[in-house]
Amino acid sequence: MAAPTTRLFFCLRRQERRLISWRRLWGSFRASFSSSSSSLRRELSPGGMRERAGRDPGLFWGSLAREELLWEAPHHTDCQWDFARGTARWFLGGRLNVAVNCLDRHAQHSPDRVALIWEKDEPGTEEKVTYRELLDMTCRLANTLKKNGIKKGDRVAIYMPVSPLAVAAMLACARIGVVHTVVFAGFSAESLAGRINDSECKAVITCNQGLRGGRIIELKKTVDEAVKKCPSIKRVFVAQRTTSKIHMRSHDVLLEEEMAKVSSICPPEIMDSEDMLFMLYTSGSTGKPKGIVHTQAGYLLYAAITHKHVFDLKQDDIFGCVADIGWITGHSYVVYGPLCNGCTTVLFESTPVYPDPGRYWETVERLKINQFYCAPTALRLLLKYGDEYVKKYDRSSLTILGSVGEPINHEAWQWFYDVVGDGRCTVVDTWWQTETGGICIAPRPSEKEAEIIPAIAMRPFYGINPVLMDEKGNILEGGDVSGALCIAQPWPGMARTIYGDHQRFIEAYFKTYPGYYFTGDSAYRTKEGYYQITGRMDDVLNISGHRLGTAEIEDAMDEHPAVPETAVISYPHDIKGEVAFAFIVLKEHTAHPEVVTKELREIVASKIAKYAVPDHVLVVKRLPKTRSGKIMRRLLRRIVTGGVNDMGDITTLDDPSVIAEILDAFENYKAKHPTF
Ligand code: 7RM
């Protein structure tokens, strides 16, 4: 035990030394700043920052990395990249630990500062966790993992609802160099097993049950079912979220019980900048979800800097991002960004309508939240209940309102601004992806703060260089143009690869427009040079801000023995934004089509997740296909969105009479579903 303890102290002493020298530096920095050095003021202004980042991104991020993070060894090379090979590496030679950056340095300075406010499912039962307590919890959890044979480089799945233990689990992995993969606790056993097997996880960390909107979610049961198919799993760590009894299996470990037995000191594993920090599965247009890989230093720096600047973070701010930790928004803006910046971050366990549609705003009042970050789908849902649910709560603590995950419509933006923000908060529509690691386009920061155009993401973040391409791969210059949204240069937060399949990474992001990162989205650039994201260009759906490939839903449905063929497309929805619309072909002489459609819905829920279940299932005799046999989803979209008079180019369509046939089936379907 002696050796590691000495190492820890050594590490802490070095940290302290560095913090002191930083403070000295910061002091002189501030002194010269206030002595009205106008050039320095210009350097630190959004315009100055943007200009420096544009001039030399490597130098810009390199100096920020030195200033903002605590290093065990400094980096020698800012960035090396080659988009033709799909590579970008940042801060080479640098060594650090992410958990030390998120916990130890704050615990040392201000141990009693609140790190987490766990806004539990029942309103008014919140629990606060200080930086000292979170460090203690993280170290105990890390030691429990180690005691059970989990070591640096191993992968561990986290299947938990938003809670302090889930955050501690992520940071415990980071502390000992284990790669975590958080799986959203709404995914089915089959989805969980797929992710565990793809990344060959050694363990799962879960809870006996979850609690959301007053309803119980059987997490442990789902894990038990999943791990039956996962030979790599050696341990299942189970935390006790509810009082229900845990049915123990041989590889199960009671998490809290074990944590109480181990030391609260855990020496951090010192990691290289480019070692893997976590992977997170996300849907693409083809195949199974991809394990998007993020690394240590670049990801952490980018999450922290975007968090600080887009949300105008002040010391002592209480940051409220209501995303689940199972999505990238939860990783970057519930956990890593806010904790690296040492602020207080809210963990929201409930739903926007529990116990009533005032929940968000009641929480804002009770916790005095300063920045509130949510998805447009929730706003669209809440605005339907009227303004009273908002107005009865005091929202004077709010300064910035953020939106993420999907395009925000004008009505929702205006309601957010006028009603929630009383016309005095800045609304930031933030565009980014699992692959970008952090916000890439947002109205803030800017010199022209007042100049915000409703419902558009507007400005590239420091060092982000967006370009729009036409179909032929030519760069579109100037304003008032639309095209495929690409990014021309690397940034520290970008994904490094797809776990176990770098070739797929290249194909998905760097092949369509050689030399550029292709986002999969299309965008419009205004005359003033601002960006508006217009939607996905590929077969990826966005249901309530959650990504899903149409191919995944088709693959699940294709397993039904009575269904030889399916095609899924996106269909607009008032609240969810988009839903899945499935066209299915049944085997001849199938007796009860309605039974089959019901079974298909169940298959999708059990193979993927409930949110993936198609809202519409239409039985057709056949699908529109090209002469070479490819399904023409474009035509299906036209048929259901009323564009039948303009079907576009149908010269490759095998048999044009299929259009009238499907249209007929669709008219019948509408007649039977009056709410359609
Ligand atoms: C953060 C996140 C990414 C996809 C992305 C877009 C869509 C996200 C916006 C948006 C319009 C926005 N990651 N998207 N933010 N579209 N305006 N502000 O959502 O990987 O799950 O999804 O989401 O299509 O490519 S994600």
**Residue 296: pLDDT above 90?**
yes
Angle at alpha carbon of residue 76, lines to 70 and 81, rounded to 5°: 105
How remote is the CA of residue 484 from the centroid of ligand 1, in Å?
Answer: 14
Residue with tokens 């690397």, as numbered in its chain = 490
Contacts of 295 (CB under 8 A, 6+ apart): 90, 273, 274, 275, 276, 277, 496
On the question of pLDDT at 29 being above 70, the answer is no
Once rounded to an integer, what is the mean pLDDT over residues 1-23?
Answer: 38
Centroid of ligand 1 to alpha carbon of 20 (angstroms): 40
pLDDT digits (tens, 9 = 90+) for 346-391: 999 999 999 999 999 999 999 999 999 999 999 999 999 999 999 9
Q: Give the model confidence (pLDDT) of 521-561 as tens digits.
A: 999 999 999 999 999 999 999 999 999 999 999 999 999 99
pLDDT in tens, 60-86: 999 999 999 999 999 999 999 999 999
pLDDT value of position 43: 83
Q: Which atom of ligand 1 is nearest to the CA of 282?
A: 20
User: Are the C-beta atoms of 164 and 347 separated by less than 8 Å?
Assistant: yes
User: Cα torsion at 182, 184, 185, 187 (round to 10°)?
Assistant: -120
pLDDT for the residue 450: 75
Per-residue pLDDT of 487-506, as tens digits, reads 999 999 999 999 999 999 99
Task: Evaluate whether 246 touches 220 at the Cβ level (below 8 Å).
Answer: yes
pLDDT in tens, 124-172: 999 999 999 999 999 999 999 999 999 999 999 999 999 999 999 999 9
Torsion of CA 524, 526, 532, 538, to 10 degrees: 0
Mean pLDDT for the stretch of residues 446-460: 90
Taking the CA atoms of 479, 481, 482 and 488 in sequence, report the sign of the dihedral they define: negative
Query: What confidence category does residue 208 fall into, taking pLDDT thresholds of 50, 70 and 90?
Result: very high
What is the pLDDT confidence band of residue 30, given thresholds at 50, 70 and 90?
A: very low
Q: What is the number of other CB atoms lying within 10 angstroms of the CB of residue 85?
A: 11
> Best substitution site from 328, 431, 534, 550 to test ligand 1's pocket, by max atoms within 8 Å of Cβ?
431
Mutate to test the pocket of ligand 1, among 430, 433, 544 (most ligand atoms within 8 A of CB): 433
Mean pLDDT of the chain: 93
Q: Which range, of 337-346, 427-436, 483-492, 589-598, averages the lowest pLDDT? A: 589-598
Q: Residue 445: is the preceding peptide bond cis (ω within 30°)?
A: yes
Q: Using one digit for the tens of pLDDT, what is the confidence trace for 282-291?
A: 999 888 999 9
Q: Which of 294, 293, 300 has the alpha carbon at shortest distance from 101?
A: 300
Atom of ligand 1 nearest to the CA of 547: 21
C-alpha to C-alpha distance for 674 and 676, rounded to whole angstroms = 5
Span of 301-310, 437-446, 575-584, 646-655 with lowest mean pLDDT: 646-655
Please tell me the predicted confidence (pLDDT) of residue 8: 37
- Using pLDDT thresholds of 50, 70 and 90, give the confidence band for residue 15: very low
- Judged against a pLDDT cut of 50, whether residue 182 lies above it is answered with yes
Task: Please state which of the ranges 169-183, 381-395, 662-676 shows the lowest mean pLDDT.
Answer: 662-676
Mean pLDDT of the 516-522 span: 97
Q: Averaged over 216-241, what is the pLDDT?
A: 98
Q: Which atom of ligand 1 is nearest the CA belonging to 441?
A: 18
59 pLDDT band, cuts 50/70/90, is very high
pLDDT above 60 (res 2): no
Q: Decide the pairing of beta strands 466-469 and 481-487.
A: antiparallel
Q: Say if residue 9's pLDDT is above 50.
A: no
Residue 36 pLDDT: 52
Cα–ligand 1 centroid distance for 96 (angstroms):
30
Which residue's C-alpha comes closest to atom 7 of ligand 1?
406
Tens of pLDDT along 316-354? 999 999 999 999 999 999 999 999 999 999 999 999 999
Q: Whose CA is nearest to atom 4 of ligand 1?
A: 433
Give me the half-sphere count of Cα atoms (radius 13 Å) on the Cβ side of residue 378.
24
> Could you tell me if 524 and 482 are in contact, meaning their C-beta atoms sit under 8 angstroms apart?
yes
Q: Is the pTM of this model over 0.85?
A: yes
Q: Are strands 127-130 and 155-159 parallel, antiparallel or unpaired?
A: unpaired
**What amino acid occupies position 246?**
I
- Amino acid 23: pLDDT: 40
Percent of the chain with pLDDT over 90: 87
Return the pLDDT at 633.
92
Q: Report which secondary-structure segment, H or E, holds 411.
A: helix 410-415
Residue-by-residue DSSP string for 566-583 = EEEEEEEETTTEEEEEEE
Q: 123 falls in which pLDDT band (50, 70, 90)? A: very high
Q: Judge if the beta carbon of residue 544 lies within 6 A of ligand 1.
A: no
Of the residues 282, 461, 521, which should be mutated to test ligand 1's pocket, given the most ligand atoms within 8 Å of the CB? 521
Q: How far apart are CA 71 and CA 53, in angstroms?
A: 22
From first CA to last CA, the distance across the chain in angstroms is 67
